[in-house]
Chain A
């Protein structure tokens, strides 16, 4: 219908234009920027493969990538275990279930900047809450954020704490989909609590686990405000994240071409990692 066509283009046209300007153009221009040198003041110059060459040999970039993997290796498993444990607990008959759920979800709604500022205090070596608690049980203060060995794990624990409520909800939703008949069947077969978990609950939650792995991985690659506020990337660059490096290149060093190159590389790494994870989980499932 011509009238329908016209109405539709009035209603959807602005969005199409928006997509062109704020999605399609930036994606295309990111690929152009990879080959440019540009400080936003003078005119951009063609740089050939300079940015790519620089990136390949850039120790700081690769340090940040390694840091991210360190972060993920702690964050992802910890996130799955904590979220699953809390979800299974909340899935029982509980008094005040929505209160517990709300409590665990609280950090999710709080700004990451606030959480980072708060946890800087909790992690503080001399006056931090955590060390004071440890002191009470006889553990000497740990320099959480200033020791290169503990800084990134400390941040990973904090991010896990902030997001766990979100993943609990995902697992709780998944638990609703396990048919009652399956649960009854496995109980009649005389399975122990652990066997029920191992052979029914865990496999049934595979889609949710894949989601948790994917989302927490993508989230990990976006790590920015935590190191920015808490450590500035230190100590010894051990908490430098890729996005922090990208931000500094753009904002502090005015190197748009190089910052965009980092962005493209990061997107590629995310794509490869997420696909690899899916493959791995798919293989594990087939076993």
Chain B
């Protein structure tokens, strides 16, 4: 009886897992299939081909989009880590006028839905003349309120005597942050890094608004435009372009799975 229940349990789990993994495996295999085969449920291509990738690469600047996405997401992540922890350090451990106001403002900002500020932000970018620039993709994301609150929370738990010792040892405040706090904050820094990078990497609505020039498009945007505009022409090609976006993430996920799960779940709970 107990045996049977375990078998049912694992069979159920396997079916569930297949539901989550199979579509991606099917997607990956379809990109190596000729058009006639795409409809098949089989995962091993009968007629293996790289045509889908050649076509995709030739028809739209995916290489360029990969560079754009990497550049934008990396810059944003570094900025959020460096500027965010400087802000969080001040908010957690320094006394200054306006600190309560800044705390309150940060929490308030998180409660305002993004849809409210989307259009005014867009008009701001237009007026700044930033349409079709990296600035439009990067600058509005240089600071992240969720990240600042998470870092602040973590920094609050570091003993005051460490700060005092470092001050007595003659360190400046930024130096305390980067040589004492950072090494102690690796868990929270990695959480912030992952969810910031993933957010920037997958963002599509904002680029769709502020970038029209193909050479400046990020991957998800180019992918969407490419698939919708009929540029792909076939299912295999459009899925092949999606692979450019998926593969780096899945590789990173395979290695840092635990960190990914903690990070993305953590950001949602805090944010």
Residues of A within 8 A of B (CB): 1, 4-5, 7-9, 11-12, 14-16, 18-19, 21-27, 29-30, 33, 38, 40, 86, 89, 92, 94-95, 98-114, 117-119, 121-122, 127, 129, 132-133, 161, 165-166, 169-170, 173, 211, 215, 218, 221-222, 224-225, 228-229, 242-243, 246-247, 250-251, 256, 259-260, 263-264, 266-267, 270-271
Contact = CB atoms under 8 A, between A and B. Distances in A.
B112 A18 contact: no
B95 A4 contact: yes
Given A11-B86, A225-B204, A170 B118 contact: no
B41 A263 contact: no
A233 to B, nearest CB: 12
B113 A26 contact: no
23 contacts: A8-B90, A8-B94, A11-B89, A12-B91, A18-B143, A23-B112, A25-B124, A30-B119, A86-B16, A100-B17, A103-B21, A105-B257, A106-B24, A109-B253, A114-B245, A117-B238, A118-B23, A118-B24, A165-B20, A215-B268, A229-B227, A229-B228, A247-B208
A250 B209 contact: yes
Contact of A27 (B86, B112, B126, B250): B112
A11 B83 CA distance: 8
B126 A40 contact: yes
A1 B95 CA distance: 8
A11 B239 contact: no
Given A15-B143, A18-B142, A222-B113, 4 more contacts: A14-B143, A117-B238, A117-B242, A229-B227
B148 A267 contact: no
Given A7-B173, A109-B253, A132-B39, A221 B96 contact: no
Interface stretch (B46-54, B184-192, B259-267): B259-267
A268 to B, nearest CB: 9
Given A33-B123, A89-B12, A107-B20, A112 B204 contact: yes
Interface string B80-118: 000100110111001111110010011001001111111
Contacts of B86: 11-12, 14
A11 B113 contact: no
Contacts of A5: 95-97
B9 A89 contact: yes
A222 B118 CA distance: 12
A127 B249 CA distance: 28
B96 A30 contact: no
| List of 6 A-B pairs having minimum Cβ-Cβ separation, nearest first | A8-B96, A127-B39, A26-B120, A12-B90, A26-B117, A169-B265
Contacts of A225: 204-205, 224
> Chain A's interface: helix, strand, loop or mixed, by majority?
helix
Interface string B224-243: 10011000000100110010
Contacts of A7: 90, 94, 172-173
Contact of A106 (B20, B26, B90, B174): B20
B264 A260 contact: no
Contacts of A114: 220, 223, 242, 245-246
Nearest to B212: A251
A4 B176 CA distance: 13
Nearest to B87: A15
Interface of B: 9-10, 12-13, 16-17, 19-21, 23-24, 26-27, 30, 38-39, 41, 83, 86-87, 89-91, 94-99, 102, 105-106, 109, 112-124, 126, 139-140, 142-143, 145, 148, 172-174, 198, 201-202, 204-205, 208-209, 219-220, 223-224, 227-228, 235, 238-239, 242, 245-246, 249-250, 253, 257-258, 260-261, 264-265, 268-269
A114 B238 CA distance: 10
A37 B118 CA distance: 17
Contact of A33 (B26, B120, B220): B120
B116 A263 contact: yes
Contact of A111 (B99, B201, B253, B265): B201
A102 B38 CA distance: 27
A25 B9 CA distance: 54
Contacts of A129: 23, 26, 41
